[in-house]
Homo-oligomer: A and B are copies of this chain.
Amino acid sequence: MSAAGSGADAPDRRTVAFLEDAPRSSAPVRVAIVGATGYAGAELIRLLDRHPSVEIVGLVARGREDEPVARSHPHLARTGLAVGDTVPDADAVFLALPHGASAALVPDLATRGMRVFDLGADFRLRDPDDYRRWYALDHPAPRLLEHAVYGLPEIHRAELIALRESIPAIVGVPGCYPTATILALAPLARAGLIGDLVVDAKSGVSGAGRDPKPDMMFSELNESVRAYGLAGHRHVAEMEQELGLLGVGSGVADPNPGVRAVDFVPHLIPMTRGILSACHVRPVRRVSPGELDDLYAVAYAGEPFVRIVATGPATKHVLGSNFADVHVRLDERTGRILAIGVIDNLVKGAAGQAVQAFNIVHGLPETAGLEQLPLAP
Contact = CB atoms under 8 A, between A and B. Distances in A.
A318 to B, nearest CB: 7
A315 B226 contact: yes
Contacts of A196: 196, 282
A197 to B, nearest CB: 9
Interface string A154-186: 000000000000000000000000000000000
Interface string A211-229: 0111011111111111110
A223 B223 contact: yes
B200 A280 contact: yes
A377 B317 CA distance: 17
A50 B372 CA distance: 7
A317 B75 CA distance: 4
Contacts of A218: 205, 216-218, 220-222, 270, 272
Interface of A: 39, 42, 45-46, 49-50, 73-79, 196, 198, 200, 202, 204-206, 210, 212-214, 216-228, 230, 232, 261-263, 265, 267, 269-274, 276, 278, 280, 282, 307, 309, 311-321, 323, 329, 331, 333-336, 338, 340, 371-377
9 contacts: A220-B377, A222-B377, A224-B319, A225-B271, A225-B314, A226-B313, A270-B270, A320-B320, A375-B375
